Amino acid sequence: MDGMKRVLSFVRRAVDDYEMIKEGSKVAVGVSAGKDSLTLLYALSALKIFYPKKFELCAITVDMGFEEADFSEIAALCKELGVEYHVVPTQISKVIFDVRKEKNPCSLCAKMRRGALYGYAREIGCDTVALGHHFDDVVETFMLNLFYEGRIGCFQPVTYLSNTGITLIRPMLYMPEKDVRYFASKNNIPVQKSPCPADGNTEREEMKKLIASLERQNKGLRYRIFGAIQRGEIDGFKLCGKMGGVKEYENEDNAENLEN
C-alpha cells in the first residue's frame, strides 16, 4: 500500500516508546468512518503480522443512531483485512440533539461514545482499546486546555481505566495529520463524512486554524510544542522506551524525509 512503510514507522515508534501493546493482548480499534481510525486499523493490522509481541485485533464501531449511517464498507474492509468487526447500536444522537438539545454537544457525545465503546470492548474480551488520535490532535488538545481551561494538560498516550479494566492507547500520536490524509487518499480508504450536525463547527476547528496560522509564521511550531509536552513529561508523555520520542520530527523537513 502506498505510504504504509511511513505509517508503520510512526506507529511502531509510538507503540515501543510508550509500551502500548502487551504480549497476548486483544486490541479493539475504535472505528468511526473517518480517515484517522481507518488508517489506524490498517496500521495495526499490518503491525500485527511482524510485531514481536503477539496480539489479537478487532474493530468496534459505535453506531450513534443517525439514520444515514452505513457501515457496510467498513465491514467489507475488515473482512479484507481479516479483522473481526462489531457494530454497537446506540441512540446517542437522539439523546444529545433531540432530548437534551445540547448547544455544545461534543464533550457529552465523546463521553457517551467512549462509555459504549469501552463497555462493549470489555464484553467481548478485549483488554486494550486503540484510538486514532494523531500528532496534530495532541498539539491542539494541549492548546485547547491552555486557552479555554487555563491548565497545562493533554490526553495520555496510555491510560488504564480502572472502572472497566481497559487500557486505552493512541498509537498514531507521532503521525501528523497530513500523513494520515495522504495515506487515506492514495489508498482509497472508505472514509465517510460525519453525519453529525456539529461536525466542523467546534472549538477544535478554530484552534486548528489558529495553529496553522501561527505555523506559517513560525515554521516547526507544532513540533516544538509536542517536544515541550514530552520534555515536560505532561500527562503520561514521559518516554518508557528507547526510540527517542518526537525529536526527529522537530522540523517539517525532517518529518518529510523520515521513512524508518
pLDDT digits (tens, 9 = 90+) for 113-123: 999 999 999 99
pLDDT grade, residue 249 (50/70/90)?
A: very low
Burial state string for 131-166 with b = 16 or more CB within 10 A and e = fewer than 16: bbbbbbbbbbbbbbbeeeeeeeebbbbbbeeeebeb
pLDDT grade, residue 80 (50/70/90)?
A: very high
pLDDT digits (tens, 9 = 90+) for 202-243: 788 899 999 999 999 999 999 999 999 999 999 999 877 555
Which residues span the domain enclosing 45? 4-257
Mean pLDDT computed over 17-39: 96
pTM for the whole structure: 0.88
Residue that is written with C-alpha cell 483488554 in the block:
127
As a dihedral over the C-alpha atoms of residue 53, residue 176, residue 218, residue 257, rounded to 10 degrees, the angle is 80
Distance, CA of 98 to CA of 93 (rounded, Å): 8
- Which CATH number fits the domain that encloses residue 11? 3.40.50.620
What proportion of the chain, given as a percentage, has pLDDT over 90? 72
**Alpha carbon distances (Å) from 42 to 24, 48, 222:** 20, 10, 26
Domains identified in the chain, total number: 1
Residue 128 near residue 159, CB atoms below 8 Å: no
